[in-house]
């Protein structure tokens, strides 16, 4: 397949390498417009700690016009910009897959005629140096249609291509439920680890029990209006199980704060807060954490 990956972050480069390993694929990359220098080669350290190099092919307008699949792996706050710059350069039949943390309201973005999917991944990957990523943990990919109409043959080819490159992968017909589950996990783990400056596993301590319950109860009340039914017990079990499995990890939001970068708070607890506002529901704990993270971002900018 002709595939263009957008974003040179941990997940974008993981996909680039794994897809490019298959000679049937023609893979290219679009780097962020903020990147000052793009190398000719990129490095990849696999799950067995073996490092290899790959030629970096940058996507130009001609490559984009022939792309069959676009894998958009940018932060949630760059999705709108990525769509705007792409819209008139790709064919109306090119599938777009979005892979990011948090919830983006696609109704507020430029209208796209093609089939758009979201991909939720639990694979672990980290940037060791610019343009060198390491695959740190095997995981699972859930893929589901979010807008447009799926073309069966095209969809089957895409699923085979992605599942071969980075197993395992499920095409889900309940992707909205999975997105909400991931959102709830991120709403708890990300701000609490960032504010308290702790590894994910620390959240298993008794002192976080009450705040986790309050956050999840608020999320459940908002999710209900979007047609999602969750029980507190079920959701809490999932959150604590991810905190256990990723116990030694530094969450993405904690890393962003430590590295003085913008966080995805507006698309995580901020999404809950804004949705609740439009529904006239009160979510004080989610609102408080959103404000605390924004204060940390601001303090980082001023130093």
Taking the least distance from each CB to ligand PAF, the nearer of 124 and 144 is 124
Q: Which residue in the list 178, 182, 248, 277 is annotated as catalytic?
A: 182
Q: How far is the CB of 187 from ligand PAF (least distance, A)?
A: 10
Q: Which span (18-26, 49-57, 242-250, 285-293) binds ligand PAF, by CB under 6 A?
A: 242-250
185 binds ligand PAF (CB under 6 A): yes
Q: How far is the CB of 251 from ligand PAF (least distance, A)?
A: 4
- Which residues lie below 8 Å from residue 295, measured CB to CB, with a gap of 6+? none
Q: Is 182 an annotated catalytic residue?
A: yes
- Which of 189, 194, 203, 257 binds ligand PAF (CB under 6 A)? It is 189
Residue 40 near residue 16, CB atoms below 8 Å: no
Q: Which span (157-165, 221-229, 241-249, 290-298) binds ligand PAF, by CB under 6 A?
A: 241-249
Q: Name which of residues 13 to 72 contact ligand PAF (CB under 6 A).
A: none
**What is the rounded (10 degree) CA torsion for 249, 193, 278, 75?**
-40
Using DSSP, state whether 63 is helix, strand or coil: helix
Q: How far is the CB of 253 from ligand PAF (least distance, A)?
A: 6
Q: Name which of residues 87 to 116 contact ligand PAF (CB under 6 A).
A: 101
Q: Is the dihedral of CA 221, 223, 229, 234 positive or negative?
A: negative
- Which of 220, 242, 265, 283 binds ligand PAF (CB under 6 A)? It is 242
Residue 98 near residue 145, CB atoms below 8 Å: no
Using DSSP, state whether 122 is helix, strand or coil: coil
Strand order in 51-55's β-sheet?
A: 51-55, 41-45, 132-137, 124-129
Looking at 29-97, list the stretches that DSSP marks H as alpha helix, in order from N- to C-terminal side: 61-65, 79-86
Interface residues toward ligand PAF, by CB under 6 A: 101, 185-186, 189-190, 200, 242, 246, 249, 251-252
What residues act catalytically?
182
């Amino acid at each position: 397949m002709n595939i263009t990956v957008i974003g040179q972050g941990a997940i974008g480069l993981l996909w680039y390498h794994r897809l490019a390993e298959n000679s049937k694929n023609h893979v290219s990359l679009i780097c962020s417009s903020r990147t000052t220098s793009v190398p000719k080669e990129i490095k990849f350290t696999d799950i067995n700690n073996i490092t290899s190099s790959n030629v970096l092919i940058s996507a130009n307008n001609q490559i984009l016009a022939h792309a069959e699949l676009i894998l958009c792996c940018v932060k949630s706050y760059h999705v709108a910009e990525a769509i705007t710059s792409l819209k008139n350069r790709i064919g109306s039949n090119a599938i777009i897959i979005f892979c990011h943390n948090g919830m983006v309201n696609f109704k507020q973005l430029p209208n796209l005629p093609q089939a758009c999917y979201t991909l939720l991944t639990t694979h672990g990957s980290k940037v060791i140096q610019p343009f060198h990523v390491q695959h740190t943990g095997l995981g699972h990919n859930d893929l589901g249609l979010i807008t447009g109409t799926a073309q069966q043959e095209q969809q089957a080819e895409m699923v085979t291509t992605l599942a071969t490159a980075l197993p395992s992968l499920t095409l889900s017909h309940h992707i909205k439920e999975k997105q909400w589950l991931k959102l709830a996990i991120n709403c708890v783990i990300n701000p609490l680890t960032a504010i308290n400056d702790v590894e994910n596993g620390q959240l298993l301590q008794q002192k976080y029990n009450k705040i986790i319950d309050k956050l999840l109860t608020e999320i459940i009340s908002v999710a209900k209006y979007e047609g999602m039914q969750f029980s507190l017990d079920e959701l809490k079990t999932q959150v604590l199980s991810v905190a256990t499995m990723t116990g030694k990890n530094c969450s993405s939001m904690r890393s962003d704060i430590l590295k003085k970068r913008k966080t995805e708070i507006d698309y995580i607890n901020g999404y809950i807060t804004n949705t609740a506002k439009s529904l006239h529901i009160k979510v004080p704990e989610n609102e408080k954490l959103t404000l605390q993270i924004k204060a940390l971002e601001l303090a980082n900018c001023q130093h």
